[in-house]
A = this chain, B = another copy of it.
Amino acid sequence: MPFCDEQLTRLKPLWTRMLGHRFLTETRDGAMPDERFAVWMRQDYLFVEAAIPFIAALIPRAPRAHWSPLAGVIAALEKELQLFEERAAAVGVTLRGTPAAFTNHAYIQFLMATAYRASYAEAYTVLYAAEKAYHDSWKVVRAGLDRESKWHPLVENWAGDAFAQYVGYLEGELNALAEQAGADERTRMGEYFELTTKYEIAFWEMAATGEDWPGCNSQ
């Protein structure tokens, strides 16, 4: 079985938990308060921005054939940031000025540490798993979202066909990397897949609860 199918099968319970997260279902059902959604927007804006140096750090460790596609991902991330800014302006949300919440900061550190320290195939696993998670998660939201919703353009960005095609490309490349990998590296790739899924779930949890740095908010 190709690596991605194998992992998505192995991690089915975790993946299902992610797709059923109340942040997604409540957004889908129009039950998410605007201010709570805005909290997510501000954090995700920071996360998308932080993905740029992650992708850049992959390039020197990537095979030559991946350099241009990865540079293309950087350009796509810059466009995503503009989409956030356009949406935020349209609905009156102030995007900038909020520091990264704990889970967001942690996830960003995980991206960067992996880009530098892990093997390229391991780091590419994180890239794929994060993008696949976003695609599948926002498809859950799109399935029930009012098309007139002010969040629709953001949802469509990740749930739509262009993003699906991009995720499909990543999947093919990751399967090829996994085929070239030795048994130990392939096992570690699976561990990175699982870790990324857990960070994704933590991210939805942060968005739903408004969590911040542990031990710093409570009195």
Contact = CB atoms under 8 A, between A and B. Distances in A.
Contact of A60 (B49, B53, B120): B53
Given A116-B113, A182-B181, A214 B211 contact: yes
A122 to B, nearest CB: 10
Interface stretch (A1-9, A102-110, A156-164): A102-110
B71 A53 contact: no
* Interface residues of A, dominant DSSP: helix
A201 interface: yes
A48 interface: no
Interface string A55-92: 01111110010011011001100100000000000000
Copies in the complex: 4
Contacts of A114: 109
Interface in A93-135: 102-103, 105-106, 108-110, 112-117, 119-120
Contacts of A70: 56
Interface residues of A, number: 55
A209 to B, nearest CB: 8
A14 interface: yes
Contacts of A53: 59-60, 67, 117
Which of A105, A116, A215 counts the most B-chain CB atoms under 10 A from its CB? A215
Considering the complex of A and B, which 4 residue pairs feature the smallest CB-CB distances, nearest first? A106-B106, A53-B60, A56-B59, A205-B215
